[in-house]
Chains A and B, each alone.
Chain A
Amino acid sequence: MVLRLDCPHCGPRPADEWVYGEVPDPPDYLTEGDERDVDRGFMMSNTEGVKVERWFHAGGCRRWQTITRDTTIG
């Protein structure tokens, strides 16, 4: 089955229509400027579970949407 993301404007649409956007989330313990920058640039939480994400609905409203998803299911 295809993964569907629920667009608040357009409704549930298949993942094919969307572009994923990584949200940089440097952890608080990184206080040194360079370390935070490296983290922002490259590192990812890659959460195995429920996660709030940003997706661009390229095939529909062409807006960034905030979507909550369980990465172990979808």
Chain B
Amino acid sequence: MNEFIEAQVAFGWEDMRSSYDVVIVGGGGHGLSTAYHLATRHGITNVAVLERGYIGSGNSGRNTTIIRANYSIPEAVRFYQRSVDLYSRLEEETGRWIMHDRKGLLWLVHGVPGTRNERARSIVNQAFGADTVYVTPEEVGEICPEVDLNAGGGEYRVTGGSYSPHAATARHDRVVWALAEGAMKLGVHVHQRTSVTGLLKVGDRVTGVLTDRGPVAAGVVVSAVGGHVSTLAAMAGVRLPIRTHPLQAYVTNHYARSFRPIVASAEMGFYVSQTPRGEMLLGSRIDNQPSYSYRSSYEFLSYCSLPAVTLLPFLRNLTILRQWAGVCDMSVDMSPIMGYTGVEGFLVTTGWGTGGFKGIPAGGEQMAKLIATDRTPELIAPFSLDRFKQDRLMFDPGSTGTTH
């Protein structure tokens, strides 16, 4: 696997220095995007990304790759729309094909409360730059003829929904590789098979990391370790409003026809899209229990499949091929947490939970800006950790539920 990745990313895999200006822990999308933007936007290249497995081995290589900005609060719509825009330029910018495919997202509802939500969502989206529109059941049928608007005659008859033409998918590991390569081209180091086991401190200040390959000094340490953030933050004496939950997904065998949009129903609890290989990719809600376990369950297959085959009967004829799980850093208010932690020299980018793939470009861009300027950029100010102290939570019905 490592040889394969090293072949994908064409630039030098260097030896580790004893000191860097910036050490980023975690070679997932967010760590690599932060490094990429430090190098490309700010000329900061004395940077190392330390990854204990291989890059993309965390959630960034396990997700269902939905990129969307149809959130329900202004701050989130603005942030994710920025990320949607950056994603659509990433191929051109990096010269790497990430299989970015703008296929649109159909978000279905089944009753009055949902209908009201989707109308509100469309208004908020349009006001803050995302192109979401409210759609009637007839329009749903036109956008995706496979949907059984009657939901098999049961209680989940489709009463409408919203449609976001901007929504897309991309090949997850290609995103990770493109960012790694772009950063390494400019001199950033990426060290795989390097586990951070502790933090170096002078007083309360974090001054570097301990790794299984020795200590590394750092001007600033950024935690980008996905679901493992609480463990790393605890070493800095930082407590976070984060709980780690597994999230599962599965793919079926090949569906012979092209299935264009991403279809989601938060009320029924599933979402589905078609991969470039023609497989149907399905996801649902997180596992109940907080856990760091990667095991898959039969329960997941059943609670994800029942609503899916009810709304999209053609899925009944397909076979489940593979199932897997990732462990997600779920924040109390379901919104990300970026920036300062109150401990000098220690920053976090976390709370990406079940929905952080879409935030990779903007998350990295903004974290890089924060590091380069030592000021919190306006776009992510609402997502700082001190919002919990200030009773300024960012609950967003558009980020909870089941469509990531």
CA distance A1 to B299 in the complex (A): 9
Tell me the smallest distance from the CB of A43 to a CB of chain B, in Å.
4
Contact with B along A5-19 (1 / 0, CB 8 A): 000000000111011
Given contacts A2-B298, A16-B299, whether A42 and B332 have CB atoms under 8 Å apart is yes
**Count, chain B residues at interface, CB 8 A:** 24
Q: Would you call A60 an interface residue if the criterion is a C-beta within 8 Å of the partner chain's C-beta atoms?
A: no
A39: chain B residues within 8 A (beta carbon): 239
B244–A46 CB distance below 8 A: yes
B230–A74 CB distance below 8 A: no
Interface of B is mostly: loop
Given contacts A46-B240, A46-B244, whether A20 and B288 have CB atoms under 8 Å apart is yes
- How many A-B pairs have beta carbons closer than 8 Å: the answer is 71
Given contacts A22-B243, A43-B241, A46-B243, whether A73 and B293 have CB atoms under 8 Å apart is yes
B388–A46 CB distance below 8 A: no
**Count, chain A residues at interface, CB 8 A:** 25
B8: chain A residues within 8 A (beta carbon): none
Interface positions, chain A 42-68, Cβ under 8 Å from B, are 42-48
A44–B240 CB distance below 8 A: yes
Tell me the smallest distance from the CB of A65 to a CB of chain B, in Å.
14
A47: chain B residues within 8 A (beta carbon): 230
Contact among A3, A18, A19, A20 with B297 in the assembled complex (CB-CB below 8 Å) = A3
B291–A74 CB distance below 8 A: yes
A14: chain B residues within 8 A (beta carbon): 299
Contact with A along B313-350 (1 / 0, CB 8 A): 00000000000000000001000000000000000000
A45–B230 CB distance below 8 A: yes
A33: chain B residues within 8 A (beta carbon): none
Q: Would you call B145 an interface residue if the criterion is a C-beta within 8 Å of the partner chain's C-beta atoms?
A: no
Residue in A closest to B303 when the chains form the complex, CB atoms: A16
A3–B239 CB distance below 8 A: no
A1–B290 CB distance below 8 A: no
B299: chain A residues within 8 A (beta carbon): 2, 14, 16
B242: chain A residues within 8 A (beta carbon): 44, 46
Please, could you name 21 A-B residue pairs with CB atoms under 8 Å apart, sorted by A? Answer: A1-B295, A1-B297, A2-B298, A3-B293, A3-B295, A15-B289, A16-B299, A19-B288, A20-B288, A22-B243, A38-B388, A43-B239, A43-B388, A44-B230, A44-B242, A46-B230, A48-B228, A48-B244, A71-B293, A74-B291, A74-B293
* Interface positions of A (Cβ within 8 A of B): 1-3, 14-16, 18-20, 22, 27, 38-39, 41-48, 71-74
